Chains A and B, each alone.
Chain A
């Protein structure tokens, strides 16, 4: 089955600096890679996702890159703000095309991001 590793486990950045979180996956058939943000006391919420036919995707201050050959993908947050402080999870999935595995996300262990003013 799929195995997702996420690094680092904790990340402390100064406000305004960039933050990068990296994930690797094991199953080359995985084709959907979402990132979730979990604020204290809340459930995870999707912030950005990417599919295997795309190498990079941006949404304002966040971006995700995917290297299918190396089987790794990364989340980039630029101009970090205190409200970016949260736990971030990457995940990988075989996606919607595989009936048996549809929706089955394999999550990384999470990264605690702390943005200090």
Chain B
């Protein structure tokens, strides 16, 4: 089944404790992206990657890191989480061929930073 998977789905942590949220897609998509969803703000892009070893900042990159060592994986790293990073996080992927621009979203990771 074609899908984007994220782990963990739920996470409670404390300020300053490094964490990684994994994202994997099995559709051989070139483009991957991370978003955070907050009430009243919709989805805001954190980082995106056009291909392996190619990443760039989105609208709200502060406090986050990403890496794209393989095509299928795009982990999101919070080196020193703070309470304002409490949010719902989504990973998405998209093919980069022809006019296909649809982004396929994972199920989300709900993060609480105490």
Q: Do A and B belong to a common assembly? A: yes
Name A residues whose Cβ lies closer than 8 Å to a Cβ of B.
Answer: 1, 4, 6, 9, 32, 34, 36, 41-46, 49, 89, 93, 95-96, 102-105, 107-110
Query: With contacts A32-B101, A105-B45 known, is A43 near B33, CB below 8 A?
Result: no
The digit string for B52-66, where 1 denotes a CB below 8 A from any CB of A, is: 000000110000000
Number of A-B contacts (CB under 8 A): 62
Interface assignment of B18: CB less than 8 Å from any CB of chain A: no
Interface assignment of B44: CB less than 8 Å from any CB of chain A: yes
User: In the complex the two chains form, is B40's CB within 8 Å of A103's CB?
Assistant: no
Query: With contacts A34-B102, A96-B101, A102-B96 known, is A109 near B40, CB below 8 A?
Result: yes
**Residues in B neighbouring A6, C-beta threshold 8 A:** 42
Interface assignment of B99: CB less than 8 Å from any CB of chain A: yes
Name B residues whose Cβ lies closer than 8 Å to a Cβ of A.
Answer: 4, 31, 33, 35, 40-45, 48, 50, 58-59, 90, 92, 94, 96, 99, 101-103, 105-108
Main SS of the interface on chain A? loop
User: In the complex the two chains form, is A9's CB within 8 Å of B48's CB?
Assistant: no
- Closest CB of chain A to B38's CB: distance in Å? 9
Can you offer 22 A-B residue contacts whose CB atoms are under 8 A?
A1-B59, A4-B42, A6-B42, A9-B40, A34-B101, A43-B92, A43-B108, A45-B105, A46-B103, A49-B101, A95-B101, A96-B96, A96-B101, A103-B33, A103-B48, A103-B101, A104-B48, A105-B43, A105-B103, A107-B44, A109-B41, A109-B42
